[in-house]
Amino acid sequence: MSEVHDTQNMGEEDKKGRGWHGDPEGHAKAGKVGGEKVARDRAYMAEIGRRGGTKVAQNREYMAEIGRKGGLRIKEEEEQG
């Protein structure tokens, strides 16, 4: 069973190394570096994009709604010249 920590009652020394409580700027930097590294794998990025697109496309009501919004936007732009 995992141990639960009450971080509100911890001193700064106790919080170090415990997720975002230790060093928010350091963790953000590490996340950015990791994200950049993953993004270099174009095949992987294409695959997760396809998976996301397929999942969204299964929601017909959502797709119809965004189609209507897009059509209205084009119509408004054409009317404005």
Residue carrying the six token digits 């020394």: 13
pLDDT, mean of residues 3-11 = 53
Percent share of the chain, pLDDT over 70: 73
Residue ranges of the domains in the chain? 22-80
Q: What pLDDT is stored for residue 23 in this prediction?
A: 80
Yes or no: say if 62 and 56 are a contact pair by the CB < 8 Å rule.
Answer: yes
pLDDT digits (tens, 9 = 90+) for 27-37: 889 899 998 99
Give the pTM: 0.41
Q: Which amino acid is at 46?
A: A
Q: Which two tokens stand for residue 31?
A: 């996340």
Over range 50-62, report the average pLDDT: 91
Mean pLDDT, the chain, whole residue set: 81
Query: In terms of Cα–Cα distance, which of 45, 70, 66 is closest to 57?
Result: 66
Task: Say how far apart CA 75 and CA 81 lie, in whole Å.
Answer: 10
